[in-house]
Amino acid sequence: MSAVLNLNRGNQHRQYTPTLAEHWDDLVGWEARLEREGHFYARLLKAHGCRKVVDVATGTGVNAVGLAQAGFEVTATDGSENMLAKAQENAAAYGVSFADSRVADWLTLDETLGTEQFDAIVCLGNSFTHLFDHEDRRQALRAFHRVLRPSGMLVIDQRNYDTMLDHGYRSKHEICYTGDGVDVGPVELTPRLAKFEYRFPNGAVFQLNMYPLRQDYLTHLLEDAGFINAERFGDLQRPYDRREVDFVQQVAFKT
C-alpha cells in the first residue's frame, strides 16, 4: 500500500479515514506514550482539582484511555466518527469506559455537550493545528470556554512550529508520536501550511495538513477567548528551551 492520501484543508477531521484510523495506533506508540505523558497530564489535572475531563481530540484514545485509567471521569469527543470508534475499541481493550463519548466538532462543542460543565478540557497530540482559519480558532476556543466550569483548565499540546519555521524540522521522537518504524516529517512547510507525511512499515503513506501555529499566537488566542494565567511547558517540562523542544503544552484557565 503506497497510495498517498492527499487531503484538502476544509473540515480537517474528514482527513481521518477508516484506513488512517486503523494505522494511527502504530504511529502513537501507546505504551511508551502513556508511560511518559500519562503521568504528566494526570498530575497536572489532579494538582488543579480536576475530576471531570473532556478530551476534545480523542483520536484513537491514547490520552482519554490513560486518564480514565488514572481515575478521571472522561468524556471522549472527536470530529471523526472513525477515530472515535477506534477509541471505544481501545477503551474496551484496556478495560476502561468513558463517562460519555460523542462525535463533536470543536466549533459547536458546547451545543453538542449541552449544559454540563467540566473541570478540564484536553486537546492533545498536535490537534488544534487542524484549524486553518483565525475565526474558527476563536470560535472553537470560545466554545471550549463555555463548556468549562469557572476556573476550569484547558490544555493544548502541539508541535513546536516556531522552531520548525525559523530553523527547520528535526525531532528527537521522544514525545507524542513515537511509534516504532514510522517515519514522520513535513513534506511542505510554509507560514500557512505544514503538510506532514507518515510512512508506515507496511508501506502505507498518509499526509495530513496542519496550520503551523506559533506559541505566542496561541497564547494570544487563549487570552482573546477569555482564558487567563496561560502557562507553557516544553516537552512536558518547565522551564524549557524554546528552540530545542519538539512539543509545547499550553495550560490556561477560565475566568
Please give the residue ranges that form the binding site for ligand SAM (CB under 6 A): 12-13, 16, 28, 57, 59, 62-63, 78-80, 83, 105-106, 124-127, 130
Query: What is the secondary structure of 8-42 as a DSSP string?
Result: -SSSGGGG--HHHHHHHHHHHTHHHHIIIIIHHHH
- In the bound state, the residue with its beta carbon closest to ligand SAM is 125
151/207 with CB nearer ligand SAM: 207
By DSSP bridging, strand 183-190 and strand 193-199 are: antiparallel
106/200 with CB nearer ligand SAM: 106
DSSP alpha helix (H) spans, 168-246: 215-224
Rounded to a whole number of angstroms, the minimum distance from the CB of residue 240 to ligand SAM is 20
Q: Residue 222 in contact with residue 250, Cβ under 8 Å?
A: yes
Euclidean distance between CA atoms 195 and 212, whole angstroms: 9
From 96, 27, 119, select the one nearest 87 (Cα to Cα). Answer: 96
179/234 with CB nearer ligand SAM: 179
CB atoms within 10 A of CB 188: 11
10/49 with CB nearer ligand SAM: 10
Please identify which residue in the block is written with the cell numbers 484510523. Answer: 21
Rounded to a whole number of angstroms, the minimum distance from the CB of residue 25 to ligand SAM is 9
In a 3-state reduction of DSSP, which class is residue 141?
A: helix
Rounded to a whole number of angstroms, the minimum distance from the CB of residue 151 to ligand SAM is 24
Rounded to a whole number of angstroms, the minimum distance from the CB of residue 34 to ligand SAM is 11
5/151 with CB nearer ligand SAM: 5
Rounded to a whole number of angstroms, the minimum distance from the CB of residue 16 to ligand SAM is 4
Rounded to a whole number of angstroms, the minimum distance from the CB of residue 119 to ligand SAM is 19
44/57 with CB nearer ligand SAM: 57
The helix (run of H) or strand (run of E) holding residue 1 is none
